Homo-oligomer: A and B are copies of this chain.
Amino acid sequence: MTREIAEAETGLSDDMPAEPTQAHRFGQARIARSAALVEDYVELIDDLLTSQGEARSTDVAKRLGVTHPTAIKSIARLKREGLATSKPYRGIFLTEAGHELANKVRARHRLMVELLVAIGVPMDAAEEDAEGMEHYASETTLAAFAAFLAKQAL
């Protein structure tokens, strides 16, 4: 059974594309998982900035359900990635890139919730599950969601 094993090991056979599809999928999921935290922070900071006029690290921490040192550490990551800025003992602000990301994330979040609700998921469950699922929806999938909702609205 050497041949079958070889195929199983590489995930490839002659008539398959060069992508080891399963490993590739898991890899994509891992990447999305790592981006999820950044996305959540950016969206929340943007929300706070518009609704309260400022984003304090303790507010962020409380909303996310983590301690403030954890929030600060994560915000440091945002700064490192050029998404946010802050000076000691002052609030947090988003860069242009951060603001754009926030808008993208919020739009995706809304679309995800809308879709779930359209499918028949109750609102609370839709909000809760969307929080996790949204980070994994590709552009292709989001476009399909939008198309589906548009069709439904007729």
Contact = CB atoms under 8 A, between A and B. Distances in A.
Contact of A26 (B40, B120, B136, B148): B40
Interface in A85-130: 115-116, 119-122, 125-129
Range, interface on chain A: 35 or more
A145 B121 CA distance: 8
Interface string A126-141: 1111011101111011
A63 interface: yes
Contact of A62 (B23, B33, B40): B23
Contact of A33 (B24, B36, B52, B148): B36
Interface string A50-69: 00100000110011110000
A101 to B, nearest CB: 18
Interface string A1-39: 000110011110000000011111111110011001000
A136 B136 CA distance: 10
Nearest to A28: B128
Given A116-B141, A138-B125, A9 B132 contact: no
7 closest A-B pairs by beta carbon, nearest first, are: A132-B136, A23-B65, A29-B132, A125-B140, A121-B144, A133-B133, A120-B144
Interface of A: 4-5, 8-11, 20-29, 32-33, 36, 40, 48, 52, 58-59, 62-65, 115-116, 119-122, 125-129, 131-133, 135-138, 140-141, 144-145, 147-148
